[in-house]
């Protein structure tokens, strides 16, 4: 109503249309505006900051967890109301799409993981997969290696071609980062890159055992597929990448955000690196 009055419309006709009394309008005008407390303002600022850092991907459950970690006692219901007040809206994700293809002449390994994605320690089970990234300059392909214990991305590589060298590079990065562990089970789909002789030779050289689900069965490598979903729909699709180099840089930015800031339910609402550090401290005290 106040906006209509400011536009120059007389009070009486406006109050009649809106079914408000003239005296009620002036009483409302004299009423002091409700001030926002400093704590509430800081909550608003923090919520906006966390939502922006996630590229508008935090739902009410994730936002509530992040706010509690930041020191605000917020329930999911309160986070939901907060998002509505601040106009924080999450975009829906798109459907899963198969990337890798099987070579029927290659030998495949047995599925040793069988959807048991929660090993009891680091460097027991790693999982790898490849996804595609589209830019105006052409396609890029991303290969990652995840330690299923903490959900941490420990190796990754980007290339213009989806080759055996791509997956070998990401695995070697993980192998060096983890200090040359032995006895790791490496789980993947049956894509030709993972079933190749060269990749099998690398696994044997690094004392690793191959495990494979089926091509196209995304539930056989569900944890990595969820990671790719977060990478694309919560991050990459919300920015423009005019060149391959800009895409590579943004992928690197997400790797840092994911490992250092993104909270995981499977980790007790800790980031992958926090979870590993916490467990390492507990094992040293034991």
Beta-strand ranges (E) seen in the chain are 125-135, 138-147, 152-159, 185-188, 209-212
* pLDDT exceeds 70 at position 179: yes
- pLDDT at 11 (0 to 100): 44
- pLDDT at 2 (0 to 100): 47
For 74-93, how does the pLDDT look when each residue is reduced to its tens digit (9 = 90+)?
A: 888 988 888 888 888 876 54
Q: Let me know if residue 91 belongs to a domain.
A: no
Q: How far apart are CA 90 and CA 113, in angstroms?
A: 33
- pLDDT at 71 (0 to 100): 87
For 106-165, how does the pLDDT look when each residue is reduced to its tens digit (9 = 90+)?
A: 688 999 999 899 999 999 999 999 999 999 999 999 999 999 999 999 999 999 999 999
CB neighbours of residue 36 within 10 Å? 11
Q: How many domains does one find in the chain? A: 3
Residues 270 and 130 occupy one common structural domain: yes
- pLDDT at 229 (0 to 100): 92
Q: How far apart are CA 76 and CA 71, in angstroms?
A: 15
Domain range enclosing 4: 1-30
- pLDDT at 9 (0 to 100): 45
Q: Let me know if residue 157 belongs to a domain.
A: yes
* CB within 8 Å of 25: residues ≥ 6 apart: 1, 5, 11, 15
Residues 12 and 152 occupy one common structural domain: no
For 221-263, how does the pLDDT look when each residue is reduced to its tens digit (9 = 90+)?
A: 899 999 999 999 989 998 999 999 999 999 999 999 999 999 9
Does residue 103 contact residue 195 with C-beta atoms inside 8 Å? yes
Q: How far apart are CA 215 and CA 195, in angstroms?
A: 11
Q: Let me know if residue 114 belongs to a domain.
A: no
Residues 59 and 199 occupy one common structural domain: no
How high is the mean pLDDT of the chain? 84
Residues 43 and 132 occupy one common structural domain: no
Residues 201 and 262 occupy one common structural domain: yes
Residues 139 and 73 occupy one common structural domain: no
Residues 46 and 187 occupy one common structural domain: no
Residues 163 and 202 occupy one common structural domain: yes
pTM (2 d.p.): 0.73
Q: Let me know if residue 237 belongs to a domain.
A: yes
Residues 80 and 3 occupy one common structural domain: no
Task: Report the DSSP beta bridge partners of residue 102.
Answer: none
State percent of the chain over pLDDT 90. 52
Residues 23 and 64 occupy one common structural domain: no
230: its two tokens: 């977060």
Q: How far apart are CA 188 and CA 173, in angstroms?
A: 17
Residues 72 and 139 occupy one common structural domain: no
Q: Let me know if residue 167 belongs to a domain.
A: yes
Residues 51 and 147 occupy one common structural domain: no
Q: How far apart are CA 21 and CA 23, in angstroms?
A: 5
* pLDDT exceeds 50 at position 95: no
* pLDDT exceeds 60 at position 63: yes
């Amino acid at each position: 109503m106040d906006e209509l009055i400011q536009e120059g419309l007389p009070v009486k006709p406006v109050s009649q249309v809106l079914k408000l009394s003239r005296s009620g309008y002036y009483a409302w005008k004299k009423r002091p505006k409700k001030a926002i407390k400093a704590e509430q303002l800081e909550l608003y600022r923090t919520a906006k900051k966390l939502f922006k850092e996630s590229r508008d991907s935090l739902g009410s459950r994730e936002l509530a967890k992040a706010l509690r970690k930041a020191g605000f006692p917020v329930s999911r219901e309160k986070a939901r109301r907060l998002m509505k007040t601040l106009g924080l809206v999450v975009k829906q994700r798109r459907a899963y799409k198969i990337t890798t293809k099987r070579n029927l002449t290659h030998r495949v390994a047995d599925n040793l993981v069988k959807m048991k994605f929660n090993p009891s320690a680091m460097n027991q089970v790693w999982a790898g997969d490849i996804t595609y990234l589209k830019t105006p300059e052409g396609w890029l392909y991303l290969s990652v290696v995840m330690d299923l214990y903490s959900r941490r991305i420990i190796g990754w590589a980007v290339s213009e071609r989806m080759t055996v060298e791509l997956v070998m590079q990401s695995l070697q990065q993980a192998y060096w980062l983890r200090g040359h562990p032995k006895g790791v089970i490496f789980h993947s789909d049956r894509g030709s890159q993972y079933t190749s002789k060269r990749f099998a030779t690398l696994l044997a050289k690094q004392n690793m055992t191959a495990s494979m689900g089926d091509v196209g069965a995304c539930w056989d490598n569900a944890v990595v597929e969820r990671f790719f979903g977060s990478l694309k729909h919560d991050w990459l699709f919300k920015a423009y990448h005019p060149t391959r180099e800009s895409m590579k840089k943004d992928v690197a930015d997400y790797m840092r955000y994911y490992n250092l800031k993104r909270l995981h339910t499977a980790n007790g609402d800790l980031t992958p690196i926090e979870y590993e550090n916490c467990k390492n401290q507990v094992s040293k005290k034991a």
